[in-house]
A and B are shown apart, each in its own frame.
Chain A
């Protein structure tokens, strides 16, 4: 069970009130989580990563277990705590404001 936390605007777009819970077969990678998330919520396609290249959008970050995974390869296997559902996988909009 993978818990995914989305930023406010993407929760609104996907019409989910809180965390998204996904069942993903091993190995649980960043790319696999995003694939499953977009399959469950197609409206999110293109909002986190580019439709064609699947490259992360510039102002989106991926955090888990206090680590920034944004620059890691999509094939990177997520930490055990995320795979077990103890810790969430965070999709974060880059900070803006003053």
Chain B
């Protein structure tokens, strides 16, 4: 019988939640890396026991961790905890993220130019075909890649060439938070950056183009239709239709049907089109999920009711999913990387909150249960469907 493993990154450690295919009874393991900010954990699609994690701290910087046994044990890929007698210790390079070439500058909060400074890894995206290959999204925004299981990382600097001098941090920092891999074309990747927008490469990451036509940022940018500078919060794709992308922007929910060449708004009847995560049902490519948040000034659900909204029509027509979710006095947020779907049938949907709850649905969102509560604020949620 299949089972699921939910990887939860929080502000004070990581947790791993497991259940059998019924997804009713959950076991919670953790905290792993207690006390550290765990921005993101994600498993390899080709080797589910291979999991990468971004461990970070305002004091001690960035550490990459890797597990080869499904999260039971972890190590830094290039930093043996106990040196082998007679062997030179390795170099600790797995923690090193160095920008390539001339570092350059981007636009700062006050509009002046500011040098790129590495702060942390927001998102790790393992390859669809090779467990040793992973892309990493950084703050300050840049894309890094490892091909040796996380031992060393190299920047793909062409991305910052896509008008990087005009990128500007959002309130949460200038992070590359979304990496979407095209399963039909290994040369095509999409990334999204706050606040720069969405970008696409068709040559494996050497060159990039902004794909923000159709995005409108009336209150955030002097030119609402600017080529770059939009505060994209998240992009999602169904693997069967890699040219169709869904976006939750700072304000507005949008879709593209031509790989980002043109976007159109599909916010429809949402109570608020501000929000952070967006995801696609595993088996229904036109069924999408968002969690509306009241506004950019009030990061909590409208009316104190935690509601996931589902559209079965690829946007525009939305229904509130409330069964099992708090419908009064709820003032949590759901961050951009804190929603995921499993590939079971029916599809499972999961999300975590800044209040430390992790909710799950084993029926595509019709009903929800609390998998665990009172964790530290949840930064990320990923799920693995295991054989």
Cβ 8 A contact of A43, one of B33, B58, B63: B63
Binds B, one of A24-32, A51-59, A71-79: A51-59
Residues of A within 8 A of B33 (CB): 12
Query: Which B residue's beta carbon lies closest to that of A16?
Result: B81
Given contact pairs A41-B81, A52-B98, A47 touches B60 in the complex (Cβ within 8 A)? yes
Q: Is the CB of A42 within 8 A of B61?
A: no
Q: Give the secondary structure class of B's interface.
A: loop
Whole-angstrom distance from the CB of B134 to the nearest CB of chain A?
18
Query: What is the total number of residues of chain B having a CB less than 8 Å from a CB of chain A?
Result: 26
Binds A, one of B43-51, B84-92, B341-349, B354-362: B84-92
Binds A, one of B72-80, B138-146, B156-164, B282-290: B72-80
Given contact pairs A8-B35, A42-B80, A43-B79, A57 touches B98 in the complex (Cβ within 8 A)? no
Given contact pairs A15-B81, A40-B83, A45 touches B91 in the complex (Cβ within 8 A)? yes
Residues of B within 8 A of A41 (CB): 79, 81, 89
Whole-angstrom distance from the CB of A97 to the nearest CB of chain B?
12
What separation, in Å, do the CA atoms of A13 and B61 have in the docked complex? 12
What separation, in Å, do the CA atoms of A48 and B82 have in the docked complex? 19
**Is there a chain A Cβ closer than 8 Å to B59's Cβ?**
yes
What separation, in Å, do the CA atoms of A18 and B107 have in the docked complex? 44
Q: Is the CB of A45 within 8 A of B79?
A: yes
Residues of A within 8 A of B78 (CB): 42
**Is there a chain A Cβ closer than 8 Å to B57's Cβ?**
yes
Cβ 8 A contact of B76, one of A7, A8, A43: A43
Query: What are 8 sample pairs from A and B whose C-beta atoms fall under 8 A apart?
Result: A13-B60, A13-B76, A41-B81, A42-B89, A43-B80, A47-B63, A48-B60, A57-B61
Give B contacts to A, CB under 8 Å.
33-36, 57-63, 76, 78-83, 89-93, 95-96, 98
Give A contacts to B, CB under 8 Å.
7-10, 12-15, 38-48, 51-52, 57, 59-60, 93-94, 96
